[in-house]
Amino acid sequence: MNLLIGLAMGLNLLALGTNRLPSLIRVMSLQGVVLGVMPLLMEHDTLNWRVEAVALATIVGKGLVIPGLLRRAMRAANIDREIEPFIGFVPSLLLGAGGTIAAVALARALPLLPEHAGTLLVPGAIASILTGFILLIGRVKAISQVCGYLILENGIYLFGLLLIHSTPLLVESGILLDVTVGVFVIGIIVDRIQRAFDSLDTRKLTTLRE
Amino acid sequence: MNPLLLIIVPLLGAALAALWPSNRTRPWLLPVVGLAHAAMTLWFFINPPVVAPGDWLGFDPLARAVLPAVSLLFLVCAAYGVPYLRIRSERPNRVFVAVLLAVLGLLSAGHQARHLGVLWITTEAVTLAAVPLIHFNSTPRAFEATWKYLLIGGTGIALSLLGSFCLGYASLHGGGVGDLTFTALTAQGTGLSSPWVKTAWVLLLVGYGTKMGLAPMHTWKPDAYGEAPGIIGAILAGGVTTVAFTAILRVRAVIGAAGEGPIADRTLLVIGLFSMLVAALFLLGTRDFKRMLAYSSVEHMGILSIGASLGGAGVAAALFHVWSNGLTKGALFLSAGNMRRAAGSASMDNARGMSVLTPRSAAIFIAGMFAVTACPPFGPFFSELQVVRAAVASGHGFATAMFLGCLLLAFFGLTRVAFGIADGRPRLAAKTNAKRCAETIGVIAPPLVLLGLSLWLGLRTPAMLREAWAAAVTQLFPNP
């Protein structure tokens, strides 16, 4: 369990360090699969169909559908495979590593129920959220920003696992809906930005400013 | 009658609009559904249904205090939508009409949500549904605005989900059984785990505050309001932001029950004042009259947030302000839309002499501008006066001074732009353009009606409304 969360945290750093879009998408989809497996391991003694459904939907959604859509958008728009950073790779890696340490420290301050005490869920979640923010802010291309947003969502999903036992599926299904629809809509927009600007460079989106 | 009809009817209307074959007659669905919705809302307003404590959706006192304003605003905007879409007949309106009706249904659901998860899902759905409305004009500028709206709004919505989880965990940690209705959370009260409650409050305030457009999370607002059609601006500013505000009020009640009320109030006060200050400063700089309305909206969201921080009297004033601001802003957005079409630009540099080109819209715009800057006897004057009174009564002298200072700065900013576009000699190109955009009764009556409603709210606030606001305050502060 903690091994998987550790793996997801490692993938965060990989996502920050990579300089090619396809590998960023691959890292993201791998993280999605890792997250999808997690509820199965967490609840292996009291496995019910709801948990299985969440796991399956996560693996298919985060691991296959969304990366597929992003790849298609990338091909369709004929985007350059390089990632252009606002915040360089080394600084963002350092930020990410610092963020991970801060996440572990921060998680200490929050009290946990005895059954969650030993897990890395909370630090893992905070670290992923921070990574997501760094990617959102620090990358130029629309697709890498979408990846950042998805990693942010992954962090929130990790946190949601704390509640998978007690709250109705509602909240969980909310996330998946959000992710798929969000990317779907973002995908359309990306397509339009492409047509309107002939690039996916969000730096060019600067007409509207004070 | 079941209050769920308020959600179902607009959604059915949306489905019908999506299937409706004719581009020419489809816009009529807007006022038809709007009228049905308004009639039902009025019925529920007069005969409030009983809400069981465990219900996930229900027409409770808070919904009763706010939803009629949204319904009324939507009805008037829907009436404007028919002539507007006739003018814009070159563009297919299937998506526009269907989505607008869906937004109405989702807004009704959001206002009635009594469950943390349902509230989040509806807010999320409204955010996504508004996307095609914002890029209706399909210009590169509209796409840029939509992209920023999605990215910032999406992040905000993600943070509010995280906040919801934290609040859920606070309940779980305090021995809760996973019941996330606001009634259950409030009943748990001080049993909620305090560190988690504080974390949840920060995240939910940032998340729903982004949706509401509180500074510094307001940056999507000028872009989205500036590029979306005026009718959409009116509904975003008067309806969508209101859902986020009621969300914050509902969450605030839980935080208050958990014994962290003073912290919540302090953050609301600070973020509200900061929003007013930021908005006032940007109002002094902007040259675009639609972006100006967006900054004015940020300012008024700040006022709502300040009102919410001042206890019972302040919340009642804030609910009053939801009505007066929503209706007045509607009048401003609709008349601004008329002027924008005639001038062919929303910038002060190109739009000049609007009092000659579009005399009626310009007159409504100027009157609305005075109304929204709290000149008596319009509604906003009285609601802001109540906020000030509540602030003074609770001993917030410095905050009151800053509040009034920001209002004054905003007044300078708004009058500068409004008179800048109304006065002067119109451009030659705009003159020929304005001839094509004649001011028919269809595009003049709706903003005029909204302005009249704002005046009516100010001159004689109906006793029933006051009673509804007081009931909502009792719901939020059961033991003052």
Per the listing, tokens 């298609």 go with A72
Q: Evaluate if residue A80 carries a pLDDT over 80.
A: no
CB contact under 8 A, A196 and B180: no
Averaged pLDDT score across all residues of chain B = 91
| pTM for this entry | 0.92
Report how far residue B184's alpha carbon sits from residue A143's, in angstroms, rounded to the nearest whole number: 41
pLDDT digits (tens, 9 = 90+) for B372-386: 998 888 999 999 999
pLDDT at position A178 is 59
Report how far residue B119's alpha carbon sits from residue B113's, in angstroms, rounded to the nearest whole number: 5
pLDDT at position B432 is 74
Q: What percent of chain B has pLDDT over 90?
A: 65
CB A157 within 8 A of CB A175: yes
Per the listing, tokens 């790849």 go with A71
DSSP-derived 3-state class of residue B176: coil
CB B161 within 8 A of CB A174: yes
Q: Evaluate if residue A198 carries a pLDDT over 70.
A: no
Q: Which of A134, A140, A166, A179 to mutate to test the interface with B (most CBs of B within 10 A)?
A: A166
Q: How many angstroms separate the Cα of A75 from the Cα of each of A143, A194, A205?
A: 11, 12, 22
pLDDT digits (tens, 9 = 90+) for B62-75: 999 999 999 999 99
Q: What percent of chain A has pLDDT over 70?
A: 76
Per the listing, tokens 């709210």 go with B457
In 3-state terms, chain B is what percent helix, strand and coil (to 5)? 80, 0, 20
A209, part of any domain: no
Q: Quick count: other Cβ atoms within 10 Å of Cβ B104?
A: 31
Give the range among A112-126, A157-171, B69-83, B246-260 with minimum mean pLDDT. A157-171
CB A40 within 8 A of CB A57: no
Averaged pLDDT score across all residues of chain A = 79
**Gyration radius from chain A CA atoms:** 17
Per the listing, tokens 């709706």 go with B446
Report how far residue B298's alpha carbon sits from residue B372's, in angstroms, rounded to the nearest whole number: 12
Q: Evaluate if residue B337 carries a pLDDT over 60.
A: yes
For residue B280, give how far its alpha carbon lies from the nearest alpha carbon of chain A (Å).
Answer: 13
Report how far residue A144's alpha carbon sits from residue B180's, in angstroms, rounded to the nearest whole number: 35
For residue B128, give how far its alpha carbon lies from the nearest alpha carbon of chain A (Å).
Answer: 7
pLDDT at position A210 is 66
pLDDT at position A104 is 86
DSSP-derived 3-state class of residue A141: strand
pLDDT at position A74 is 75
DSSP-derived 3-state class of residue B192: coil
Q: Which of B322, B336, B245 is nearest to B73 (CA)?
A: B322
Q: Which of residues 58-87 of A touch B (CB under 8 A)?
A: none
pLDDT at position B253 is 93
Q: Evaluate if residue A170 carries a pLDDT over 60.
A: no
Q: Quick count: other Cβ atoms within 10 Å of Cβ B287?
A: 17
pLDDT at position A181 is 59
Q: How many angstroms separate the Cα of B256 from the Cα of each of A22, B111, B119, B263, B264?
A: 48, 20, 19, 9, 8
In Å, the largest CA–CA distance within chain B is: 71
Domain span at A130: 2-204
Give the range among A202-206, B280-284, B314-318 with minimum mean pLDDT. A202-206
Strand partners, B397: none
CB A7 within 8 A of CB A19: no
A136, part of any domain: yes
For residue A171, give how far its alpha carbon lies from the nearest alpha carbon of chain B (Å).
Answer: 6
* Cβ of residue A9 closer than 8 Å to a chain B Cβ: no
A97, part of any domain: yes
Domain ranges in chain B are: 5-476
Q: Evaluate if residue B108 carries a pLDDT over 90.
A: yes
Give the range among B24-33, B168-177, B266-275 with minimum mean pLDDT. B168-177
* pLDDT range class, residue B291, cuts 50, 70, 90: very high
pLDDT digits (tens, 9 = 90+) for B37-48: 999 999 999 999
Q: Evaluate if residue B480 carries a pLDDT over 70.
A: no
Comparing B199 with A71, the larger pLDDT belongs to B199
Strand partners, B181: B115
For residue A177, give how far its alpha carbon lies from the nearest alpha carbon of chain B (Å).
Answer: 9
CA B257, B261, B263, B264 torsion-angle sign: positive
Comparing B343 with B369, the larger pLDDT belongs to B369
Host H or E run for residue B20: none
A210, part of any domain: no
pLDDT at position B215 is 85
Contacts with B180 from chain A: Cβ below 8 Å: 167, 171
For residue B289, give how far its alpha carbon lies from the nearest alpha carbon of chain A (Å).
Answer: 12
Q: Evaluate if residue A187 carries a pLDDT over 70.
A: no
**Gyration radius from chain B CA atoms:** 21
Instruction: Fill in the amino acid letter for B140.
Output: P
Per the listing, tokens 């205090």 go with B65
A40, part of any domain: yes
Q: Which residues contact B467 (CB under 8 A, 6 or more apart)?
A: none
pLDDT digits (tens, 9 = 90+) for B348-368: 888 888 888 888 999 999 999
DSSP-derived 3-state class of residue B478: coil
Whole-complex ipTM: 0.89
Q: Evaluate if residue B89 carries a pLDDT over 70.
A: yes
Phi, psi of B258 (to 5 degrees): -80, 0
CA A56, A58, A62, A66 torsion-angle sign: positive
Report how far residue B26's alpha carbon sits from residue B92's, in angstroms, rounded to the nearest whole number: 10
Report how far residue A60's alpha carbon sits from residue B202's, in angstroms, rounded to the nearest whole number: 32
pLDDT at position B65 is 94
Per the structure block, which two tokens stand in for B125?
Answer: 């759905």
pLDDT digits (tens, 9 = 90+) for A90-141: 888 999 899 889 988 888 888 888 877 778 888 899 999 999 999 988 887 7
Per the structure block, which two tokens stand in for B261?
Answer: 């009320």
Per the structure block, which two tokens stand in for B8?
Answer: 């179902």
B227: nearest CA in chain A? A208
Report how far residue B354's alpha carbon sits from residue B343's, in angstroms, rounded to the nearest whole number: 8
- Give the mean model confidence (pLDDT) for residues B151-170: 89
Q: Which of residues 170-209 of A touch B (CB under 8 A)?
A: 170-171, 174-175, 177-178, 181-182, 185-186, 189, 192-193, 196-197, 202, 205, 207-208
* pLDDT range class, residue A150, cuts 50, 70, 90: confident
* Cβ of residue A169 closer than 8 Å to a chain B Cβ: no
CB contact under 8 A, B168 and A167: yes
Q: How many angstroms separate the Cα of B127 from the Cα of each of B106, B118, B224, B434?
A: 10, 14, 12, 34
Contacts with B148 from chain A: Cβ below 8 Å: 205, 208
Domain count, chain A: 1
CA B426, B450, B133, B161 torsion-angle sign: positive
- Give the mean model confidence (pLDDT) for residues B88-99: 90
Burial (CB count within 10 angstroms: exposed 0-12, middle 13-18, buried 19+), residue B22: exposed
